[in-house]
Amino acid sequence: MKFFIDSADIEAIREIKAMGMCDGVTTNPSLMAKAGRKDTDALLKEICAVVQGPVSGEVTALDAEGMVAEGRRLAALDPHLVVKIPTTYAGLQAIATLSGENIRVNATLVFSLNQALLVAKAGAAYVSPFVGRLDDVGEDGMQLISDIVEVYENYEYDTEVIVASVRHPMHVVDSALLGAHIATIPPEVIRKLVAHPLTDKGLAAFMADWETLQGSGS
Ligand code: E4P
């Protein structure tokens, strides 16, 4: 299973990459705003240089022609750049055009199986269903992942499933059990994945016993 980092924070990405936990990165306009860098093209290029894997940069045009133009420009920034396109009617047109030019597209803001089917048919390299936002409105985000994985297998689509809007460690556990190709995970959730109270308790006991041994006579 691949881990992408859902962030535009270059220092966090660098740190997690050094641990071998960063196979790619996803950004969006909100994450760019959080990073506080207006030179977004330069930031995307820096992220690509660190990650050496797929890095999604999102278009901000809303019409198909604008998305295609922006997508071509983004794709030319770096060979690792993946163009993130919102899953709208105009978005589908842009996905088909860019994918036809061998530009990899990540179809974002996916909330239904029909949307996932459409973007796969349009040739998207990746689909990003937002599980946390579905959970927020009382729907079952992971059920959507299960359905997409099953349907993509049924019809042998090459589109890779990126579990997005990951909020907590159980989203990662469930993604792995369902066979999703990728989870895109915020840095704070990566840190939570390694934490376990029994690890802390066990380590404290080992250290206490070690201290006792050092203080003993023989
Ligand atoms: C996915 O690519 C998005 O950047 C992201 O997962 C959105 O997550 P959020 O719902 O926590 O904003």
pLDDT tens string 23-38: 999 999 999 999 999 9
Residue closest via CA to ligand 1's atom 1 equals 164
pLDDT value of position 185? 98
Q: What residues in the chain have per-residue pLDDT under 70?
A: 218
Q: Would residue 192 show up in a list of annotated catalytic residues for this protein?
A: no
pLDDT value of position 217? 75
Per the structure block, which two tokens stand in for 134?
């579905």
pLDDT tens string 87-124: 999 999 999 999 999 999 999 999 999 999 999 999 99
39-63 b/e (C-beta count within 10 Å ≥ 16 → b):
ebeebbbbbbebbeebbbbbbebee
Four-CA torsion 48, 89, 163, 182, nearest 10 degrees: -50
Q: CB of 132 closer than 6 A to ligand 1?
A: yes
Find the catalytic residue in 84, 121, 192, 201: 84
Q: Find all residues with CB under 8 Å of 177, minimum gap 6, and list them.
A: none
pLDDT value of position 216? 86
- Whether this model's pTM surpasses 0.85: yes
- What domains are there in the chain, each with its CATH number? 2-216 (3.20.20.70)
The DSSP call for residue 19 is T
pLDDT value of position 122? 98
Measure 208 CA to ligand 1 centroid, in angstroms.
Answer: 42
Residue closest via CA to ligand 1's atom 11 equals 165
CA distances from 5 to 32, 34, 47, 187, 196 (A): 13, 15, 11, 7, 21
Four-CA torsion 7, 130, 87, 31, nearest 10 degrees: -20
pLDDT tens string 134-144: 999 999 999 99
- Sign of dihedral through CA atoms 151, 134, 112, 117? negative
pLDDT value of position 8? 98
pLDDT value of position 116? 98
CB of 75 within 8 A of CB of 44? no
d(CA 204, CA 217): 22
